[in-house]
Structure 1
């Protein structure tokens, strides 16, 4: 019972194990090397509005509630997962043209202005319920 047990005896198919060495710069790692910062992740998940879209929202008296913004964010995520680039999003009685890659609402149209409109340069449409 004085036999010495080594890793090779317990796990014969495992090669030699090298010890892990800590670098001298263990506490001073570059935070950008670890991945995107929380701020950049947050910015990339929010819906942005172009200056033109903000003007249209004011001109047409459209006010978006937080729950509507959440639905738009969700719709952008779904459209992005399908590979959409520029999407027409219909929400209640309004339409939004959204650049999916930038997560930016480009323009907004209210229900009374929707009639007889033609939407060009879009590759998808999302109906938000």
Structure 2
């Protein structure tokens, strides 16, 4: 009787045909799973530049600002511009509003109107985007 060592385990040559068919079935299942996971990952990466998250704090402040969908598109452009330059945390100036944003997380942290921004200091900011 002859044996073959596969992944450190001895298998009888007579049993290899059954082992190969089981192995190829397992590979087909895992390949389909990998392809599905990759497609989900790719779709998420493609759509990532089309959206951002608004924190609860920013959401409360934005309610009174009467922003429309075009305004949010412009803010998203600000995220994309900052991301292209390698920014991590930025201030996006749009109209008379300063939006503090985490570019890494694509999250709008807060919004400050011009009237409220007196005597405020923005720290841990590495860029400024003026729209």
TM-score (normalizing by structure 2): 0.67
* Alignment check: 8 A CA contact 2:87 2:126 kept: yes
Question: Structure 1 segments of 4 or more deviating over 4 A?
Answer: none
Displacement of 1:126 after TM fit? 0.5
Please point out which of 70, 77, 80 is paired with 2:80: 77
Please point out which of 42, 60, 72 is paired with 1:55: 60
Higher helix share: 2
Displacement of 1:42 after TM fit? 2.8
* Alignment check: 8 A CA contact 2:88 2:126 kept: yes
> What is the distance in 1 between the residues matched to 2:92 and 2:38?
36
Unmatched runs of 5 consecutive residues or more in structure 1: 1-22
Per-residue CA deviation, residues 38-85 of structure 1 (Å, 9 max, x unaligned), is 356435631210111112223xx1122111111111111110111101
Correspondence 1:20-59 to 2 at 5 A: 25=28, 29-30=32-33, 31-34=36-39, 36-38=41-43, 41-42=46-47, 45-58=50-63
Please point out which of 115, 120, 123 is paired with 2:118: 115
Per-residue CA deviation, residues 59-115 of structure 1 (Å, 9 max, x unaligned), is xx1122111111111111110111101101100111100000111100001121123
Higher strand share: 2
> What is the distance in 1 between the residues matched to 2:126 and 2:85?
11
Please point out which of 56, 65, 70 is paired with 1:67: 70
Residue number in structure 2 paired with 1:4:
none
